[in-house]
Amino acid sequence: MKRTKAFGTPWIAILGCVCLVLGLTGSMETALADPASNRILKEPSTRTAGKVKMEVFVDFYCPHCHHFEATVLPELRREFGAKLEVTQTGLPLIRNKPRTPFELYEAARAEGKGEAMAKVLFRVLQDERLDVREGAVATRSLKEAGLDPGAITKRLISGEAKRSLEEGIARANRYSVRVTPTVLLDGYVLVEDTTAANLRQLIRKLLSGEKL
């Protein structure tokens, strides 16, 4: 797999997909469960005593990401509770696909509703297969996430959401994120094997103070 690359499209467009980079098409992949899937980055640790910070790079059109959000995350949250701090970063990986859902997510996150919006986007885009370019769909989705469509529109028009998205993409490029979902633990442990078993083991080690 080659490195991730960001693709620019206007916020009013939509339909992206999955797990392949630099615009090359092909079948989706699941990261292999081997040591090579856990990479130690030359990045400063963001560790806080008694807590692990988990950043998840997701593509809202990626079925693996949908599965992770619906099954793996709840399992980890049940086990670790407040000891696990989770954020999601939208990462569009397919060439020539619009980025509307990702910018909607960034705008929602700025309003403190990122998690709720992510859930809605996964369902609307993958389960219902609807197009959030359509006004009624967008409005319904925002309201379901507890958001004011007017406030979100302002963030989109101002370019704030786009800048936030591009910052996330730039970080993913720096880390050489290759697939989605990919997890970053405590700012320096990059994990492609995002099974609950692998993540549980890594989180336990980090909570114990073990250096990975």
- pLDDT (tens digit per residue) in 77-116: 999 999 999 999 999 987 777 799 999 999 999 999 999 9
What is the rounded distance in angstroms from the CA atom of residue 175 to the CA atom of residue 42?
9
Q: Would you state the torsion angle of the CA atoms of residues 180, 186, 190, 195, taken in this order, to the nearest 10 degrees?
A: -60
Q: Cis ω on the peptide bond leading into residue 74 (within 30° of 0)? A: no
DSSP string over the chain: ----------TT------S--TT---------SSGGGEEE-SS----BTTBEEEEEEE-TT-HHHHHIIIIIHHHHHHHHGGGEEEEEEE---STT---HHHHHHHHHHHTT-HHHHHHHHHIIIIIS---TTSHHHHHHHHHHTT--HHHHHHHHHHTHHHHHHHHHHHHHHHTT--SSSEEEETTTEEES---HHHHHHHHHHHHTT---
Q: What is residue 35's predicted lDDT score, i.e. its pLDDT?
A: 56
Q: Give residue 201's identity as a one-letter amino acid code.
A: Q
Which residue did the predictor score with more confidence, 67 or 19?
A: 67
Q: What is residue 105's predicted lDDT score, i.e. its pLDDT?
A: 98
What is the rounded distance in angstroms from the CA atom of residue 105 to the CA atom of residue 100?
9
Report the pLDDT averaged over residues 10-31. Answer: 32
pTM (two decimals)? 0.82
What is the rounded distance in angstroms from the CA atom of residue 181 to the CA atom of residue 93?
11
Q: In what order do the strands lie in the sheet with 189-191?
A: 38-40, 189-191, 182-185, 52-58, 84-90
Question: Sign of the C-alpha dihedral, residues 172, 177, 178, 184?
Answer: negative
Cβ-contact 207, 54 below 8 angstroms: no
What pLDDT, in 10s, does the model give residues 145-169? 999 999 999 999 999 999 999 999 9
Q: Give residue 48's identity as a one-letter amino acid code.
A: T
Cβ-contact 178, 39 below 8 angstroms: no
Structure token pair of residue 23: 């615009």
